[in-house]
Amino acid sequence: MMTRLSVNVNKIATLRNARGGNVPCVETVAVDCQRWGADGITVHPRPDERHIRRTDVYALRPLVTTEFNIEGYPSDDFMALVLDVKPEQVTLVPDAPGVLTSNAGWDVASNLEFLTDVVSRLRAAGIRPSIFVGTDLDNLRLAARTGTARVELYTEPYAAGYTADRESAVAPFVEAAELAHELGLGINAGHDLGLQNLTFFHERVPHLAEVSIGHQLISDALYLGLEATVKAYKACLK
C-alpha cells in the first residue's frame, strides 16, 4: 500500500497573515503542492483564524483535486463548516481553543459518547472520520468503538526519541498500528515527522495510509525550495 503525503498549508497562511494581503497565496501553494506530487492538502482552521481562515477553506475546496483533510476540534462552528464543505476526510483533534499546536491525542474513554456522535454525523455526510490518538492500546480499542474509519497517530514522542534510540522510539507505533489494523482502522500519522525521521517511520510502521506534515515540511522548503521539498518527502514514502 502506498503511503500518501498530505501537505498541511497552515504555515503558509501564518506567513500571509503576518503581513496582510495575500502573499504567499494559500490557494496557489496548495495547487502547486499537488502538481509536485502531494497526495492531499490538510488545513486546521482554529476559532481565532490565526492562520487558516474559514474563507480559505471554502476557496480551497474546488482547488483540492487530490484529498482534502480538515483537522479541528468538533465544536458546533467547526462541524457546521465541514458538513458544508464536505472534505474527503475530517481529523478530530482535542485542541483547546488557544493551544498553539495539537500536542496530545484524545482520551477516548472520557469522550466516547461525544466522539461516537460526531463520527456518526460525519459518516452520514459521506466524510471519512479520523481520530487523533496516541499509542495507548486500550485507547485505540475504544477509538474503534466510535465507528471511526481511521486514527491518526500523534508522532511527537517518536520524533523526540528518534535520535537517541530510534528502535525504542518507533516500537509503540508499530504495536499501535498492528492493533489498529486488526480492529479494522486505517492508520494515519502526523506531528514532527520530517526528512530526518520519516523514512525509518515509514519502513517500520505497517499499514500506514497517510502522513500529514506541515511545519517541518515548510521549514525545509525555506532551504530546499517547496517543489524539491515535496518531492523529497514523497521519496521518503517510496
Q: Which residues contact 163 (CB under 8 A, 6 or more apart)?
A: none
Q: Under DSSP, is residue 6 helix (H, G, I), strand (E, B) or coil?
A: strand
* Count helices and strands in the chain by DSSP H and E runs: 11, 8
List the grid coordinates of 146.
Answer: 466510535
Active site residues: 44, 71, 191
Query: E strand or H helix at 26, and its extent?
Result: helix 26-35
CA–CA separation, 229 vs 219, rounded Å? Answer: 9
112: Cβ contacts below 8 Å, ≥ 6 apart: 142, 145, 146
Alpha-helical (H) ranges within 70-194 are 76-85, 112-124, 137-145, 156-161, 166-182
Burial of 147 (0-12, 13-18, 19+ CB in 10 A): middle
Burial (CB count within 10 angstroms: exposed 0-12, middle 13-18, buried 19+), residue 210: buried
